[in-house]
Chain A
Amino acid sequence: MHYRLEASDLEQLLDALKADGYALLGPQRQDNAILYDTLESVADLPQGWTDQQEAGQYKLKRREDAAYFGYVVGPRSWKRVFLPPRKRLWSATQQDGVWSISEEPLPTQKVALIGVRACEIHAIAIQDRVLREGPYPDPYYTTMRAQSLIIAVNCTQAAPTCFCTSMDTGPNATFGFDLSLTELLEPAHCFVVEVGSPKGQALVETLGLPAANDPDQARAQAGVDQARKQIKRTLQRDDVKALLYRNLEHARWDEVASRCLSCANCTMVCPTCFCTEMEDITDLTGDHAERWQRWDSCFHGQFTHVHGGPVRQSTRSRYRQWLTHKLASWEDQFGTTGCVGCGRCIAWCPAGIDLTAEVKAFRESEHTQENNKR
């Protein structure tokens, strides 16, 4: 059952969520990018803007229409909602030689995520495997996940950096949402709404949305199909794990290392990268101490520090760790690939390194070797 929401009634959806106690998070134009942040109203949405992306490039551009969700993905993923870039774990105070430790209170504010892309839903599901479904569930993560509501928006256009079709993660959301919207601009600006949960159903009923008619549904499907057709980048996924494991000492790692700046951008923008570092701080008296958890990256020099120095000293070894983790060992660890095909690491790499091209290079070098043998 699909419903229809007039574009002019989008505010009512936001109001209904607010009335239900949700803080809203959604896309908006900030710092020349489309970022997810606190949303007050529909007016905050990046209406009439789109993003242009290529390897090493991201630029905002005016659209000729009034689409609210007419962009693809920006540098900020939703992971910061559940795994903040920096959070305090506990603080401790000393009095007369006795330390008392108090845990950071867990958040209680419900949040609604507006405009979650299909690939991002997969990214959240992948992080669930890491931080919610392992032997030690992360209390902050599980709390925020439990009190979050997801309004997905299906993609009707793709960026040249996108390859979700190779990863089977898009362009339309198939699970993991409360409501999903497909934005239609013609003949009238509206959304085709699909319900994904009882909470979503209740919202539809609160708003009293009418059923979407067949032409609307067909147009929504055509939009998604159009995005699918626009996707040109590919990553052959079936044997990539074995391919990378076979080639841990391949010369290509040196080649990519000659371009990689080890800047960690790819890990920061990646919606599944989860590595963190623990940081202890204290005041001048030494009577007050805190531990913070902050995002870390396998590209950082000290990431593998053991007594005597880091295990991965070269950029070659760090890029190898990142790519083999993302596409190979992630499967061993969590039963899923660590890549959703969102293309962020390609667009936000200052050197324009493209993981799909790297995988192709490995594959082609093996083909060349095979042919040479014949």
Chain B
Amino acid sequence: MGASPAIRPMTPRPFRIEAVRPETPNVFTWTLRPTQEDGPLVFQPGQFNMLSIFGVGEVPISVSGDAEQSEIWVHTIRSVGTVTQVMETKKAGEIVGVRGPFGNTWPLQAAEGCDVVLAVGGLGLAPMRPTIYHVLHHRERYKRVYLLYGARTPKDILYPDELKAWSESGALDIRTTVDVGMDGWDGEVGLVTDLISDIRIDPYHSIAMVCGPEIMMHFTAKALFHRRIAPARIFLSMERSMRCGTGWCGHCQLGPTFLCKDGPVYDYPSIQPWLHKREL
């Protein structure tokens, strides 16, 4: 537990929704502030919180804010299940519960002095955003930084204004592709993998961080090998049903690991035996 050791790990703390920002269809971002002052909110990029609607349920949602902002939590949520659908109806000023942060972090220190490839698919950009903020705050520590982003349609592109600003600042080389090109889209259409063949990296001094659906991560990792990035330098953020965050409940097991306490970030060789195994 980050914030308050006095509280038991299963007890949420009340937070007020300070702002609700609609993003793409069914996707919105919450800014949450604790109702009681209780020290800074500390997290590492890649970690997640358990967010509760009282009486409805609890879901794991990655932190997608800036780790240097220690007085709020920012979460981007897609309304897709029972709990998140109720979340979508909540307005600024309402109270929700928060536990966390849980999980491990992206290899931001190991990536220092390296070319960095951030490959994200769909809503995978949300968990990656704290990493992007970190890189931008400490841009001099990293060499070339690519953000390769695969979205569903042009309408589903998350954080378009920020993507534009990051790209225009020259701090990040951003390449975006969509699965379906429409609505006047004049960018790439196809898989994220196609973006990988065209980046300029020093494969021996590169680190790749991949976040998206499991199949996307599987083929992205393969494409990264073809660019000669060593498997141990490729990191994936895995997804399973996390219910407790503490390793007690057993739901998020994948082979020998608990995603909630050992993950969600894994280097490719350690998760590879359990990746892409049917119904594991």
Note whether A and B contact each other (Cβ less than 8 A).
yes
Chain A residues within CB distance 8 Å of chain B: 89-90, 92, 94, 97-101, 103, 130-131, 134-136, 138-139, 245, 248, 274-278, 280-283, 286, 288-291, 293, 296, 298, 303-307, 311-314, 316-317, 320-321, 325, 328-329, 332-333
Q: Is the CB of B54 within 8 A of A278?
A: no
A interface footprint on B34-55 (CB within 8 Å = 1, 0 otherwise): 0100000000000000001011
Q: Is the CB of A278 within 8 A of B261?
A: no
Chain B residues within CB distance 8 Å of chain A: 1, 7-14, 35, 52, 54-58, 80-81, 93-95, 97, 239-241, 243-251, 253, 255-258, 261, 273, 277-280
Instruction: Tell me the complex Cα distance, A99–B36, Å.
Output: 11
**Across-interface contacts of A99 in B (CB, < 8 A):** 14, 54, 95, 97
One of A90, A136, A325, A332 near B246 (C-beta < 8 A): A136
Instruction: Tell me the complex Cα distance, A125–B163, Å.
Output: 52
**Across-interface contacts of B55 in A (CB, < 8 A):** 92, 280-283, 286, 288-290
Q: Is the CB of A97 within 8 A of B54?
A: no
Q: Is the CB of A280 within 8 A of B52?
A: yes
Q: Which residue of A lies closest to B94 (CB)?
A: A97
Q: Is the CB of A303 within 8 A of B251?
A: yes
Q: Is the CB of A293 within 8 A of B10?
A: yes
Q: Is the CB of A275 within 8 A of B279?
A: no
Q: How far is the CB of A355 from chain B (nearest CB, A)?
A: 18
**Across-interface contacts of B95 in A (CB, < 8 A):** 94, 97-99
Interface centre among B11, B94, B273 (most CB of A within 10 A): B11
Q: Is the CB of B93 within 8 A of A304?
A: no
**Across-interface contacts of B257 in A (CB, < 8 A):** 332-333
Q: Is the CB of A101 within 8 A of B279?
A: no
**Across-interface contacts of A89 in B (CB, < 8 A):** 8, 10-11
Q: Which residue of A lies closest to B56 (CB)?
A: A280
**Across-interface contacts of B14 in A (CB, < 8 A):** 98-101
Instruction: Tell me the complex Cα distance, A92–B244, Å.
Output: 18
With A97-B93, A289-B54 as given contacts, are A298 and B81 in contact (CB-CB < 8 Å)?
no
Q: Is the CB of B97 within 8 A of A278?
A: no
With A98-B35, A101-B97, A135-B261 as given contacts, are A275 and B241 in contact (CB-CB < 8 Å)?
no
**Across-interface contacts of A312 in B (CB, < 8 A):** 279-280
For the complex of A and B, list the 9 residue pairs with the smallest distance between their C-beta atoms, beginning with the closest.
A282-B55, A332-B256, A275-B250, A317-B279, A289-B55, A136-B246, A289-B54, A329-B256, A307-B80
Q: Is the CB of A311 within 8 A of B261?
A: no
Q: Is the CB of B248 within 8 A of A304?
A: no
**Across-interface contacts of A332 in B (CB, < 8 A):** 255-257
Q: How far is the CB of A100 from chain B (nearest CB, A)?
A: 8
Q: Is the CB of B11 within 8 A of A311?
A: no
Q: Is the CB of A139 within 8 A of B253?
A: no
Q: How far is the CB of B188 from chain A (nearest CB, A)?
A: 26
Q: How far is the CB of B54 from chain A (nearest CB, A)?
A: 4
**Across-interface contacts of A291 in B (CB, < 8 A):** 10, 52, 58
Q: List 27 A-B contacts (CB under 8 A).
A: A97-B95, A98-B35, A103-B8, A134-B247, A136-B1, A136-B9, A136-B245, A136-B247, A274-B248, A274-B250, A278-B244, A280-B57, A280-B58, A281-B55, A289-B54, A290-B55, A291-B10, A296-B250, A298-B250, A303-B241, A304-B240, A305-B241, A311-B240, A317-B280, A329-B255, A332-B256, A333-B257
Instruction: Tell me the complex Cα distance, A298–B279, Å.
Output: 12
Q: Is the CB of A101 within 8 A of B256?
A: no
Instruction: Tell me the complex Cα distance, A108–B160, Å.
Output: 55
Q: How far is the CB of A273 from chain B (nearest CB, A)?
A: 8
Q: Which residue of B lies closest to A91 (CB)?
A: B54
Q: Is the CB of A276 within 8 A of B279?
A: no
Known contacts A278-B10, A293-B10, A311-B279; can you find 4 more A-B pairs with CB under 8 A?
A: A99-B54, A275-B250, A280-B56, A332-B256
Q: Which residue of A lies closest to B243 (CB)?
A: A278
**Across-interface contacts of A275 in B (CB, < 8 A):** 249-251
